[in-house]
Structure 1
Amino acid sequence: MAGLRQRKKAAAQKRIIDCAALMFREQGYEATRIEDIAEAAELSVTTFYNYFGSKADMLLATVVAETETVIAAVDDVIGAEHRCLQTAFAAIAKVYFTLSFQYTSREMWRMAVARTMLDPEAEFSRRYIDIDQQLSDQFCMFLAQMQKRDLLRAGVETEPFGRLLFNNVNLNFLEFMRSPELDASAVRAKVVAESAPVFALIETRNAAH
């Protein structure tokens, strides 16, 4: 019985997130009301608040859902066979700038980032920071795995270089998020080009490009 209740709760939560993401994209975050989301999800407003404490929490849930998809896809890239660091990294960059904004929108990301700045101590902000840390940690894990496969020179400290790579990706992601006219493929190419000098320093000399 407990398992059934959990499955029903998870299904209702996903339904709310799906409805909210669609309405945020189509109507905009500010114009979307909690009452509208609850109605679309076929729930009462009271039931909605059993799952999410505010519209900001709902916004974060949509961002987190998309980010979890990105994390899983990057895990797949890390686990695949690669001939050199740069091609592996290019595959990761492709995930970031292909899967992001499939479920959310640039406006939703801008609102999420703004919320963390306006209220850094809120639960919403702490959860956002946690997911950002997961993404950064994943880059460190990526380099550690590549080092085990002899694509990264022995002795290179994977954590500082992993943070460096993530910070560059994140900076370009924020630029992409702020500027609707930017093209995803162009930003991805920029990320890869900017990271190339780092890989020239740390990859093994026998890596095939």
Structure 2
Amino acid sequence: MSNLRERQKESRRRKILQAARKQLVANGFEATTIETIAEEAEVSAVTVYNYYGTKTGLLLALVSESDTLLLERMQELLETPSETIVDTFSAFAEVIRQHALSFLTKPVWRQVIAASIIEGDSQFGRSYAQLDRELARQLTKILEKLRDRGGLGADTNLDVLGDCLFQLQNARFLQFVSSDDMTNEAVDRYLREDMEALMAACPD
């Protein structure tokens, strides 16, 4: 009986998250309410509040679900990194952008980022920061593969380099989602130019 209740709870959670994602993508954060999500999920608004508390709580749950899928895609990239650091970094950043837009819209990601800053000390903010740390670690692992194949110097501090490049990617991602007119091709060009400028500034 206990297992049945757990399955029913998980099914309700799944329906609420699917409804929230559908409503947010279709109507945006401001126009979406707990009540419209509840109606879409065919549950009561009280049930949604009991599971997630607020719209920000729902955003956290959606981002967490997105994180799991994104990290799986990073594993694929880890298995087959590109030949150069520029191509490797470009591919890493593109996976993040493509996944982000396949899951939520730019306006909703703006709300996610704003919430992560405003509520930095909350569960939402801490969870979002934890995702960043995990993605930076994934980039470090990818760079390690590249180093092992001779694409980076043997003495390269991969932890520092991985974190530095991830912060650069984050800045360009923020620029990307902040403008509805910013294309994937444009931000990729900027990142490649960033990398080429950094590499040109380094002595041989």
Query: Counterpart in 1 of 2:135?
Result: 135
Query: Counterpart in 1 of 2:101?
Result: 101
Worse overlay, 50-59 or 141-150: 141-150
Worse overlay, 86-95 or 18-27: 86-95
Q: Give SS of 1:121's match.
A: coil
Deviation at 1:47, TM superposition (A): 2.1
Cα deviation 1:36-62 (Å, max 9, x = unaligned): 111211112222233212111101222
Ranked by relative contact order (alpha carbons within 8 Å, sequence separation 6 or more), the top structure is 1
Query: Counterpart in 1 of 2:116?
Result: 116
1:143–1:200 distance in 2 versus 1, CA, 3 Å: farther
Question: Unaligned stretches of 5+ in structure 2?
Answer: none
Asked if 1:84 corresponds to 2:72, the answer is no
Query: Counterpart in 1 of 2:21?
Result: 21
Question: Unaligned stretches of 5+ in structure 1?
Answer: none
Query: Counterpart in 1 of 2:34?
Result: 34
Q: Tell me, yes or no, if the aligned pair for 2:92 and 2:139 is still in contact at 8 Å.
A: no
Q: Give SS of 1:29's match.
A: helix
Cα deviation 1:72-130 (Å, max 9, x = unaligned): 21221111254333333332222122221211111111112222332322222111111
Q: For residues 10 and 192 of structure 2, what CA distance do their matches in structure 1 show?
A: 38
Q: Tell me, yes or no, if the aligned pair for 1:147 and 1:153 is still in contact at 8 Å.
A: yes
Q: Give SS of 2:30's match.
A: coil
Deviation at 1:193, TM superposition (A): 2.6
Q: Tell me, yes or no, if the aligned pair for 1:70 and 1:96 is still in contact at 8 Å.
A: yes
Q: Give SS of 2:39's match.
A: helix
Query: Which amino acid is the alignment partner of residue 15 of structure 2?
Result: R
Deviation at 1:199, TM superposition (A): 5.9
Q: For residues 109 and 77 of structure 1, what CA distance do their matches in structure 2 show?
A: 23
TM-score (normalizing by structure 2):
0.87
Query: Counterpart in 1 of 2:187?
Result: 187
Query: Which amino acid is the alignment partner of residue 114 of structure 1?
Result: A
* Number of residue equivalences: 203
1:201–1:68 distance in 2 versus 1, CA, 3 Å: farther
C-alpha RMSD of matched pairs (Å): 2.4
Q: For residues 55 and 41 of structure 2, what CA distance do their matches in structure 1 show?
A: 14
Query: Counterpart in 1 of 2:72?
Result: 72
Asked if 1:153 corresponds to 2:153, the answer is yes
